[in-house]
Amino acid sequence: MSKCDVCNKQFTSNGYLKRHNRVHTGERPYHCKVCEKWFAEAGTLKKHMLTHSDDRPYKCNICAKKFRTKNTLKRHTSVHTDAKPFKCDICEKRFRRPAHLEVHILIHKDEKPYHCTICDKQFRTSYQLKLHCLVHSGSLIKCKECEKTFSSANALRRHRKRHNEEKETFQCDVCEKSFSTSCILKEHTLLHTGIVPKCEICEKLSLQLIV
């Protein structure tokens, strides 16, 4: 057995240990010649190369949707069933995939085997560590309201919608439509009254004068 000097995780061969060490070092020796993206494992690069191809040889027998890899098809198939064959022996929560169960069990053990070599923060999964490392590289986008970080603009946009839902809203007594500020509500109310303020200088009518 080969043991990792960083997190003490054990592996059956030096090859597996070498591959695991890239989680801690951030090394990515495999490189896509199409888009210049780098990967830690050859298998991950091979799967990535499929994104540059339109070939989708694996088809779902239920909905006929096609996929690039057999594993993607297998994961998709679970959408058509509620089967969750993998059960946690501690809390009896069930999961569709063994990998999800493995991550869940770490919660009970309070184990965080993956740690950041820059700030020593620890994580339960390699994905969480990978996402965290983006903070140090400056690739993550931060929410200005709660300082939570996100790997894409779309993820941040979805998150900010929750903040908007939590904010106080101002409701129109006539049509019950809600607005984010009292000024916008006041402007909207004029649509029901028909009263539009007039500029004392140019005598033009404008809804903007109420703001």
The structural domains of the chain, ordered by start, are: 1-71 (3.30.160.60), 128-167 (3.30.160), 170-210 (3.30.160.60)
pLDDT of residue 210: 42
Alpha-carbon distances, residue 71 vs 12, 59, 60, 168 (angstroms): 24, 12, 12, 45
Average pLDDT over residues 106-113: 80
Q: How far apart are CA 38 and CA 32, in angstroms?
A: 6
Q: Is the pLDDT of residue 194 over 80?
A: no
Q: What angle do CA 187, 189, 190 make, to 5 degrees?
A: 70
> 147: burial class by Cβ within 10 Å (0-12, 13-18, 19+)?
exposed
pLDDT per position as a tens digit, 37-62: 888 888 888 888 877 777 788 888 88
Phi/psi region, residue 160 (left: phi>0; alpha: psi -120 to 50; beta: rest), is alpha
Q: Is the pLDDT of residue 166 over 60?
A: no
Nearest to 144 by CA among 126, 162, 156: 156
Question: In this structure, what DSSP letter does residue 128 have?
Answer: H
Q: How far apart are CA 209 and CA 198, in angstroms?
A: 8
Average pLDDT over residues 157-171: 68
